[in-house]
Amino acid sequence: MTQIPAGWYPDPAPAPQGAPPVQRYWDGSGWTEHVHAPGREPTYGPAVATTPDGERLAGWWARAGAYVLDGLVLSIVSGLVGFAFVSRLWNAYVDFFDATLRASRSGTPAPSQLDLVGRIYGPLLGFLAVGLVVSFVYNVTFLKTLQATPGKLVVGLRVRLREQPGPLSWGTVLKRWLAQNVGNLVALVPLLGSLGSVYRLLDDLWPLWDGRKQALHDKFAATNVVVRRRR
């Protein structure tokens, strides 16, 4: 079966009576919403950013909404999978709080915060590691199979290569996840957690001022988040 290359073709939908024929953009796998009159350069409006072949790029707020939804799911799953670590963290804080109250009532020295840090350091690293594993399985699985996480599906977005449509390769999905989570990986290294936080903030905000609306992890993987076309 020969696949039709992406490009502008006569609109398969019949034109209204008396209306001139138009061309519609075929992205290689389906018809998009972009049309234009033959002989004129296609335009999408000054406020609409698109991929080179005409798919509309997702706005920052839509991406943020998808991120929040995915974050809620990941938090619940990570909490269940890493419940043993969560329980140890909770007990450490409760014991520290109780010891502080007892010391205040009896006039004895309060427990050292260094003792608390020593108790929570191991479980905290364990829970962060669990979160990374859950994030890896969640994002890689959904992006490879559906080109979108559940959060993106809910708000009507998907991920594609910037220069061409079609399913994402394993290499692209893995590079995208790694670039998106490098800040979380850095956070596992003592004394470097603040650097990871700065990277995550920049990565999240980058589409706000980037002309191609790419986050840093999009640039690394050569992807764009786009508005899903209507079937």
In the predicted model, what is the mean pLDDT of residues 131-148?
95
Shortest CA distance to 146 belongs to which of 175, 60, 154?
Answer: 154
Q: Specify the pLDDT at position 105.
A: 86
Q: Is the pLDDT of residue 184 over 50?
A: yes
Q: Specify the pLDDT at position 187.
A: 66
Q: Is the pLDDT of residue 104 over 90?
A: no
Q: Specify the pLDDT at position 46.
A: 42
Per the CB < 8 A criterion, the answer to whether 155 and 217 are in contact is: no
| 119 against 172, higher pLDDT | 172
Q: Specify the pLDDT at position 6.
A: 67
Top-ranked range on mean pLDDT: pick from 65-74, 92-101, 186-195 = 65-74
Number of C-beta neighbours around residue 17 at 10 A: 5
- In the chain, where are the structural domains located? 1-43, 44-227
The three-state secondary structure class of 57 is strand
pLDDT band at residue 44 under the 50/70/90 scheme: very low
Q: Specify the pLDDT at position 47.
A: 46
CA distance 122 to 119: 7
Shortest CA distance to 179 belongs to which of 218, 213, 205?
Answer: 218
In the predicted model, what is the mean pLDDT of residues 43-58?
72
In the predicted model, what is the mean pLDDT of residues 203-217?
92
Q: Specify the pLDDT at position 45.
A: 42
Q: Specify the pLDDT at position 125.
A: 86
